[in-house]
Structure 1
């Protein structure tokens, strides 16, 4: 089987997998759009490899395979950068939520202690204090 045919079949399968992940709601739309776009760009390259060689020569690249390799490397680099950004953002958000939960727990513990103190006073027959 020729590499161009294998490339086209692979890109169509990837698009199918992305659509299935979307259907099952296991992939968010913003990521699916990126991957579907990549699949749509790769499919015609597989069917018409001469287009790739023409674009490579216009850009001053030796051949189409070198251009594909460079674009693939660039894509992987950008995906890694984006995932690092997302992980950093989520880490900051998790830290903020943890701090908020700690504050709420502290307030809850204080209110529980005050409630226990009030119950103890009521059981002992002491008058209830009014707080302002």
Structure 2
């Protein structure tokens, strides 16, 4: 690995890790969303500082080229992020549906006050 490539890899990893931490500290990213980004950026930092770990992991896991392992790991992390977001979206949609139903019932109650002449109270 050339010194320029090595420096670029380390700088990119440090920048990504610092960005995720900065977003967490500012409250613009929640912990449960940041966990996969912290894992990915930490792995990238380890591999960029110690490139031999990529060669070791590549041979250990049976990949033919180190970049294939990097791509596979990146895609796996992005799939996990998508699953996490889909799960949260499903939960939020259920909450929104419940709130919309409650608002509709409250609006109905406000627009139709109890009328003693109504005979729907069996």
Q: TM-score, normalised by structure 2?
A: 0.81
> 1:75 and 1:29 mapped to 2: Cα distance?
16
Q: For residue 83 of structure 2, what is the aligned residue in structure 1?
A: 81
CA RMSD between the two structures = 1.9
Q: Which has the higher contact order (CA 8 A, sep 6+)?
A: 2
In 1, are the aligned partners of 2:40 and 2:77 still within 8 Å (CA)? no
Size of the aligned set, in residue pairs, is 113
> Match for residue 61 of structure 1?
63
Structure 2 equivalent of residue 16 of structure 1? 18
Structure 1 counterpart of 2:93: 91
> 2:34 matched to which residue of 1?
32
The residue number in structure 1 matching 2:112 is 110
Larger Rg: 1
Structure 1 segments, 4+ long, off by >3 Å, are: none
Can you give the 5+ residue segments of structure 1 that lack an aligned partner in the other structure?
115-132
User: Is the CA contact 2:63–2:69 (under 8 Å) kept in the aligned structure 1?
Assistant: yes
C-alpha separation in 1, matches of 2:70 and 2:96 = 38
Deviation string for 1:76-95 (max 9, x for gaps)?
12212222222222112111
Deviations 1:23-48 (A, max 9, x none): 22111122223322322221010111
Once the two structures are TM-superposed, the CA of residue 106 in structure 1 deviates from its matched residue by 0.9
State the TM-score, normalizing by the size of structure 1.
Answer: 0.75
